[in-house]
Amino acid sequence: MDYKRALQAALPDLLEAGIIKFDVPLKDYCSFKIGGPADVFCTPVSNANIIAILQFCISENIPYFILGKGSNLLIPDNGLRSVVISTQNMQKLTRDKDYISAFCGVSLSELSEYAQQMGLSGLEFAHGIPGSVGGAVYMNAGAYGGEIKDVLYCSKCLVPTIDSLTSGNPVLHLKAADHHFGYRKSVFQQGKLIHLSSVFHLVPKEPEEILASMDELKEQRWEKQPMDMPSAGSVFKRPEGHFTGKLVDDCGLRGFRIGDAAVSDKHCGFIVNLGSATAAEVLQVIRHVQQTVKTRFGVSLETEIRILGDHEA
């Protein structure tokens, strides 16, 4: 790839520091444990690193992808011909009174555990969701009656244009209303904005009470979901007036399998990787489930997971 050489010339410091690597298998960076290599894999440790990498990609017209914890993704078997910018090393958590600020790469579990230790309530719902703060804001992640939008106070982000990135003041501040949150939706999906950090507004509560709620939700999750198997969580969005798992089960598709990709025995809204499933097999299971449910019940199932590559959805 020519742009690898251009990248070596443009950002030698980041290469030397190990922040930029080549040909990195993405299956190691997503919860499905599926996916071929990224041409370029970056692990920025600062906003300045992210800005430098984005500037390179945009000016050289090279596609890039922001990767959180990879818990809502199906990555193609041949990988991504792009620069993957992983937020895994963007880690910082701070507290100021009833507000907690978290960088995009902090995991939701760490964030909710930190809030619990600080005696701040509101993030209990997020404890078992295996994503990062950036991915959770992007998706408006939610569970058990709670959603990111309920607790988010404001965010910092980047607008990925050369004008904005070179403006000298590239960080854009978003208030809660600017996020345009909906069911598994946010402005980040439309605007291609890069999330850097968010502040969450929480409510004081006894740490023991918060811990008890978190433990209860964790128990429910482990009881109902295949948490011990590689997956990307609920594959489909909840169709209005229905429960996806029930529709799939009523079609007789519990355990339906192609290769090593199977509808979970435990929760029919999940597809699990039984060992060495490929993205192609997962896609075949998705299409089969969608067609069967449509034929039987007339309900269209829209994917909640992001399907990358040629089948991008």
Ligand X SMILES: Cc1cc2nc3c(=O)[nH]c(=O)nc-3n(C[C@H](O)[C@H](O)[C@H](O)COP(=O)(O)OP(=O)(O)OC[C@H]3O[C@@H](n4cnc5c(N)ncnc54)[C@H](O)[C@@H]3O)c2cc1C
Residues 6+ apart with CB under 8 A from 189: 138
Around Cβ 241, how many Cβ atoms within 10 Å? 6
Q: How many residues bind ligand X (CB under 6 A)?
A: 33
Q: Is there a contact between 311 and 109 (Cβ–Cβ < 8 Å)?
A: no
Residues 6+ apart with CB under 8 A from 254: 248, 263, 265, 268
Which one of the spans 123-131, 164-172, 247-255, 273-281 is the region binding ligand X (CB under 6 A)?
123-131
Look up 82 and say whether it is catalytic. Answer: no
Q: Which among 107, 186, 304, 306 is annotated as catalytic? A: 304
Taken in order 126, 127, 129, 134, the sign of the CA dihedral is positive
Among 34, 73, 100, 289, binds ligand X (CB under 6 A): 73
Among 43, 49, 72, 244, binds ligand X (CB under 6 A): 72
Which one of the spans 33-41, 92-100, 125-133, 288-296 is the region binding ligand X (CB under 6 A)?
125-133
Quick one: angle between helices 207-224 and 108-117, nearest 10?
150
Residue 223: alpha-carbon gap to chain centroid = 23
141 binds ligand X per the rule CB under 6 A? yes
Rounded Cα distance between 206 and 212, Å, is: 10
For 214, the token pair is: 């978190």
CB of 50 to ligand X, least distance (A): 9
Q: Which among 112, 234, 281, 306 is annotated as catalytic? A: 234
Task: Compose the 268-307 pattern: x for residues touching ligand X by CB under 6 A, - for all others.
Answer: --------------------------------------x-
Task: Compose the 13-42 pattern: x for residues touching ligand X by CB under 6 A, - for all others.
Answer: ------------------x-----------
267 binds ligand X per the rule CB under 6 A? no
CB nearer to ligand X: pick between 116 and 306: 306
Kindly list the distances between the CA atom of residue 159 and the CA atoms of 54, 133, 139, 153, in Å, as whole numbers in the listed order: 10, 18, 18, 19
Return residues touching ligand X (CB under 6 A): 31, 65-73, 87, 104, 129-132, 134-136, 138-139, 141-143, 188, 194-195, 225, 227, 231-233, 306
